[in-house]
Structure 1
Amino acid sequence: MSNYPWTSRINTIQHVFIFLLGALAVGVAATYQPVVSIAAVCLLLLLVVSIHHPERISYAVLLSTAVSVDSLYQGGVFGIEILSLYKLGILALLVPCMLVYGIRLKFSYPVWALVIMLGITFGFSAWLPLLTTSIAVKAFVGLSLPFIFLLIQWKKDVADKHIRLISLLPIISVIIGLGLQTVGLHSFTDVEFTGAVRIQGANIPPHLAMLSFLGIAVSLIEIKRKPKQAAFYYTVLALNFLILIATGTRGPILALLLMFAMYLFDIARQYLKGRVNYLLPLAGSFLVALGAVALQWNNLKKRSFERETDTGIDLSGRSEAWEYFLNKVHDYPWSGRGLGAVTVANDGTLFNGFVVPHNEYIRFYFDTGYIGCGLLMLSLLVVFVLIYRSLAKSIKPYFASLIAGFLIYSFSDNTLSTVQMIIPFCWYLNTLYQTSTQTDFCKEK
């Protein structure tokens, strides 16, 4: 029996006819493009599963963010970049979930902000010479897709499983990365020009760090929300913290400082009230932090202080990139250079890794000026406030520190445009809202 009400009305003959057509298409493709035919078979099977068991496919889609597909395969398919194809593929697979569970339009503000930004692009922006209509539309689709995941109204038990998976994504990436290195497909570590050795799992170090940032934040919130599952989340928290430190990425560590301070203050307060069971996590937190920093101190010094820069601290070229992009949009502050223009702005002056400025505020200011950037940030704040208001009083400070950390992180990395950050982040915001009520909270004594 299908979970899909309307599929029951499709008779057996129609099913057989559809799949015969699919098999014929795959057979023809196999003659000319074997790789394409294999991909088509996999997609066909996934679509079958997504129609009959949409919740199962949601787990697979969420788990797929543990791997940076564009770092494993640099090419494209049918002339489409692999990352764009990946985003479209996961959206297609989640359509049945939207039809079964429904959508919540109250969180659609970021999508509408991007629609307006696209309108600004075609109506008012001063386009860069290399910007094309296809680039602008592709940027709109790629940026808006993750916010679609804010809308799905998951069942509470499914949402609870999603939250667990999000907390485990960094660990899963590390396990997959070890497997890929074993078969010679991907290096588990990355050695940069400074000599720093950074683990990357099945990603690149900054992407694994983004997963770790979310894994840590989710674990801290869920320890407070679900005391009965504290042992699981404490274990995941420690592993995610070690992974984050081992990536050698500084931005997420700084972004988490407020949340760590909130957590340490909270458990220290509970311990001082006589709840001696908080002594173990308090002492364990300090030991894990000291051990991790000691192990990675040389790497952090190599990345931050061993290269002379004008800023004193090595920002890996960010200060030069920020100045470059700001100069290019200086004369067009209100409507920018067009959505997606930032991706074609680097004329070779900057290191080729700066396809975008590694600062989301500059990125969207460059594309659509003060108006577009302001609308997008305002739309995000509206979503954050709606979720904040739904949470129990004891959870609100943790959630506020997560949002503050995310906004801080956005100053130094591509948090709104990287799959490994924005998809799990939107997914968690949705599931946190779905599973939270004003009566589900940890009573403080």
Structure 2
Amino acid sequence: MTNFEWGSKFNVLPYGLLYLVSALFLGAAVIYQPAIAVAAVLLIILLVVAISRPERISYFVLLTTSISINFLYSGSMFGIEILSLYKLMILMLLVPCILVNGLKFKLSPPIWAMAALFFITFAFSSWLPEMNASIAVKAFIGLSLPFVFLLINWKKEVAEKQIRILALLPLVSMLVGVVLHVANFHSILTIEFTGAVRVQGANIPPHLAMLAFMGVAISFIEIKRSPQHTRFFYIMLALNFLILVATGTRGPLLALVLMVIYYFFDISRQYLKGKSQYLIPLLCSLVLIVAAVFLQLDNLKKRSFERTTAEGIDLSGRTEAWEFFLDKAAGSPWSGRGLGSATVANDGTLYKGFVVPHNEYIRFYFDGGYIGAILLLLSLLAVFILVYRALAPPVKPYYLLFIAAFLIYSFSDNTLSTVQFIIPFCWYLNCLYRSSQPTDSPQKEVIR
């Protein structure tokens, strides 16, 4: 009893001092730096929730990917670029989730591939004059972090909820975009020089298109995999498809063509087998596609044929960018120019928007050469195969077409290096794998 009393008195002092110092800090901040005070209070709340209910903080982290924070606020905080700070914050918030759920390294090959790229950078790559070690370290951390989301050993019920949140991300972006638009902070629409009007939500159009691409693909898979949530995913399929078309982004639409064709083939086959309940989704899907084409045909024409190019189709400067990066990579084809070097390669020759080539195969060939690019591709294929083996047979064709769509999309955009794609992509692969297991993973197999 005496020991308990002394222990209690011993603990009261440091906690009391902590509360007092915190109160004084926040009080002073409110007077002199109100923004810091608000940020500190929000951070404390998030940390408390992260520790007490870690699964809820994972939902919050997922929802933040619906906003392109670096385009809404282009500066830095505490001397750190805002996008790097965002990635650091989400990792910190997920630490309690990792401690509670543990990590399983079966889906870790991409992390080891990135480590190999990092080694190649310092051991064999021929650096550009603009390249330095800090760029390589920053690129390694930024590109590797999303692959950590492949490792968290979520419980099945949590993974199922996260999948539904992933399907909601484009709609969340649109709702936040409306709020920002009303507040005159960020327009929900953007008009290009061609006259094309594009929806962007709380993002830029290509980033919203990435979220919508994921929302459409996830809905296709989950309609087949989760019959108990069929209505929800049919609704999300329609909404996400409309959002995707409204962004005026051509790459993801082309990438999804095979998946859409197979979907029509599948539900038509089911209907012809006598399952009349498939008639309604079949007809509604046809009406939706016809309406989308009718509404966006003029926009797509403006974006594709407004400017005369050698290819006949306006690819928004991609062919010039690809040629530029391939020419610069030619001096070191096997080991590349170093991880992150693509971000400093544009010497002003190209439009400033081409910080990277808008082609992930060229980007990682540029950074890691044939060796690095092949290692990364093989590591991704290893993950895709592991997830494929865990799926039920009816789901596998949709999953394979989803992966094919990802590989096609990667030819025309930054799928592996944009937060709005790579985090939802890795998160979904992990959730799909965990929720397809017969039971939750045994704790003894979990590395903590």
Into which bin does the TM-score normalised by the smaller protein fall? Answer: over 0.9
1:369 aligns with 2:349: no
Which consecutive residues of structure 2, in runs of 5 or more, have no partner in the other structure?
1-9, 440-448
Cα 1:366–1:24 change in 2 (3 A) is farther
* Seq. identity, %: 64
Which consecutive residues of structure 1, in runs of 5 or more, have no partner in the other structure?
1-9, 440-445
Residue in 1 that maps onto 2:357: 357
Query: When the two structures are superposed, what TM-score results if normalisation uses the length of structure 2?
Result: 0.93
Q: Which moved more, 1:15-24 or 1:118-127?
A: 15-24
Map Cα deviations across residues 76-132 of structure 1 (whole Å, 9 max, x no partner). Answer: 012211011000000000000000011111111111111111111111111111112
1:35 aligns with 2:35: yes
Give the secondary-structure state (helix, strand or coil) at the position aligned to 2:392.
Answer: coil
Rounded Cα–Cα distance in structure 2 between residues aligned with 1:420 and 1:170: 10
Give the secondary-structure state (helix, strand or coil) at the position aligned to 1:138.
Answer: helix
**1:390 and 1:438 in contact (8 A); partners too:** no
Rounded Cα–Cα distance in structure 1 between residues aligned with 2:284 and 2:11: 59
Residue in 1 that maps onto 2:154: 154
Rounded Cα–Cα distance in structure 1 between residues aligned with 2:393 and 2:110: 26
Residue in 2 that maps onto 1:136: 136
Matched to 1:244, the amino acid is L
Give the secondary-structure state (helix, strand or coil) at the position aligned to 2:311.
Answer: coil
Q: CA deviation at 1:153?
A: 0.9
Rounded Cα–Cα distance in structure 2 between residues aligned with 1:257 and 1:213: 11
Map Cα deviations across residues 368-388 of structure 1 (whole Å, 9 max, x no partner). Answer: 111111111111110110000
Map Cα deviations across residues 272-295 of structure 1 (whole Å, 9 max, x no partner). Answer: 101111011111111000000100
Q: CA deviation at 1:36?
A: 3.0
Give the secondary-structure state (helix, strand or coil) at the position aligned to 2:90.
Answer: helix
Cα 1:66–1:320 change in 2 (3 A) is same
Residue in 2 that maps onto 1:399: 399
CA-atom RMSD, angstroms?
Answer: 1.7
Give the secondary-structure state (helix, strand or coil) at the position aligned to 1:364.
Answer: helix
Cα 1:33–1:364 change in 2 (3 A) is farther
Rounded Cα–Cα distance in structure 2 between residues aligned with 1:143 and 1:28: 38
Rounded Cα–Cα distance in structure 2 between residues aligned with 1:148 and 1:17: 37
Residue in 2 that maps onto 1:106: 106
Residue in 1 that maps onto 2:214: 214
Map Cα deviations across residues 166-191 of structure 1 (whole Å, 9 max, x no partner). Answer: 00110111111011100111000011
Matched to 2:108, the amino acid is S
Q: Which moved more, 1:231-240 or 1:28-37?
A: 28-37
How do 1:172-321 residues align onto structure 2 when only pairs under 5 Å count?
172-321=172-321
Cα 1:11–1:207 change in 2 (3 A) is farther
Residue in 2 that maps onto 1:53: 53
Q: CA deviation at 1:34?
A: 3.8
Q: CA deviation at 1:261?
A: 1.4
Cα 1:25–1:112 change in 2 (3 A) is farther
Rounded Cα–Cα distance in structure 1 between residues aligned with 2:137 and 2:411: 25
Q: CA deviation at 1:403?
A: 0.5
Q: Which moved more, 1:221-230 or 1:240-249?
A: 221-230
Q: CA deviation at 1:35?
A: 2.6
**1:189 and 1:199 in contact (8 A); partners too:** yes
**1:209 and 1:252 in contact (8 A); partners too:** yes
Residue in 1 that maps onto 2:126: 126
1:91 aligns with 2:91: yes
Matched to 1:315, the amino acid is L
How do 1:406-417 residues align onto structure 2 when only pairs under 5 Å count?
406-417=406-417
Rounded Cα–Cα distance in structure 1 between residues aligned with 2:135 and 2:36: 25
Give the secondary-structure state (helix, strand or coil) at the position aligned to 1:190.
Answer: strand
**1:391 and 1:438 in contact (8 A); partners too:** no
Matched to 2:101, the amino acid is Y
Map Cα deviations across residues 26-82 of structure 1 (whole Å, 9 max, x no partner). Answer: 556556644334323221221111011101111110000111001110100122110
Cα 1:273–1:169 change in 2 (3 A) is same
Cα 1:311–1:20 change in 2 (3 A) is farther
Rounded Cα–Cα distance in structure 2 between residues aligned with 1:174 and 1:364: 32
**1:108 and 1:151 in contact (8 A); partners too:** yes
Give the secondary-structure state (helix, strand or coil) at the position aligned to 2:190.
Answer: strand
Residue in 1 that maps onto 2:7: none
Map Cα deviations across residues 266-314 of structure 1 (whole Å, 9 max, x no partner). Answer: 1011011011110111111110000001000000000011210011111
Residue in 1 that maps onto 2:443: none
Cα 1:11–1:109 change in 2 (3 A) is farther
Matched to 1:210, the amino acid is M
**1:113 and 1:372 in contact (8 A); partners too:** yes
How do 1:158-173 residues align onto structure 2 when only pairs under 5 Å count?
158-173=158-173
Give the secondary-structure state (helix, strand or coil) at the position aligned to 2:256.
Answer: helix
Give the secondary-structure state (helix, strand or coil) at the position aligned to 2:203.
Answer: coil
Map Cα deviations across residues 388-416 of structure 1 (whole Å, 9 max, x no partner). Answer: 00000111111111011001100000000
Cα 1:295–1:58 change in 2 (3 A) is same
